[in-house]
Amino acid sequence: MGPTWFAEQLAARKLVLTEKQLEQFQLYFKLLVEWNEKMNLTGITEEEAVYEKHFFDSLSLSFFLDFSSIQSIADIGSGAGFPSLPLKIAYPHLKVTIIDSLNKRILFLQHVVEQLGLEGVSCIHGRAEDIARMPEHRDHYDLVTARAVARLAALNELCLPFARKNGQFASMKGASPAEEIAEAGRSLKELRAKVKETYEMKLPFEQSERHIICIRKLDATPKKYPRKAGTPIKVPLV
């Protein structure tokens, strides 16, 4: 059932998991380790570390945001499914869209979704810049997430086009993001958004710092954004 501290630490933060949800996390862990032998999904494979640095870390978003008022999430460059799949396990009502540019990872994510019996999860192979141009994804989601993908000035252009007007983008970072926030001023203005709050916490055992930058989308994305695939990272709006 996973490490005992996991359910306890979450319950202390008002997130109480059922037996079934704990079993889903355990199966997720097993699949991650199994598939990691065939393809590089994570450098972290020891059980306690996976639970702390992937599962607990992903769920930390819910310590600061009210998930009862969030219906739809887009997770950009989700890698092995973080943070969106742990959030989906904990909050089954969520409609989740995962976008990743590597097809092998998408196959892994689809397998996890199937094995865990998760409904309302769509795994899309493609570049965020291209998918954000599709009407069914543009200006559409309540919450957009990205965990350790790129610097904020570039990330805003990859993620904000997915958020609906008055929706949010939560960028999950390690060390203090003050410098990144400062250099992201232009991209926020261009993409009609503003930083609402930055939350800070430490992982329970490793005590490494985590920061979550919550950005509010003020208006629909201007037509010219996002620019063509690759440009936001190579030539960020700074």
Average pLDDT over residues 61-75: 97
Instruction: Confirm whether 229 is domain-assigned.
Output: yes
Across the beta sheet with 95-100, the strand order is 121-125, 95-100, 72-76, 141-147, 163-173, 209-217, 193-202
Q: Choose among 134, 132, 137, 177: nearest CA to 158.
A: 132
Q: By the 8 A CB rule, do 50 and 27 touch?
A: no
In a domain, 33, yes or no: no
The answer to the question of residue 183 being in a domain is yes
And the tokens for 203? 């992982």
Structural domain for 139, as ranges: 54-234
Q: Between the CA atoms of 182, 229, 101 and 77, what dihedral angle is there, to the nearest 10 degrees?
A: 20
Q: For 207-225, what is each residue's pLDDT tens digit? A: 999 999 999 999 999 999 9
Task: Give the residue, 124 or 148, on which the prediction is more confident.
Answer: 124
Cα distance between residue 177 and residue 214, in whole Å = 12
In 101-217, DSSP assigns E strands to 121-125, 141-147, 163-173, 193-202, 209-217
> Would you say the pTM of this structure is higher than 0.85?
yes
C-alpha 66, offset from chain centre: 15
Contact (CB, 8 A) for 174 and 210: yes
In a domain, 202, yes or no: yes
In this structure, is residue 140 part of a structural domain?
yes
CATH code of the domain containing 219: 3.40.50.150
- Over 80: is that where the pLDDT of 148 sits? no
What's the total number of domains in the chain? 1
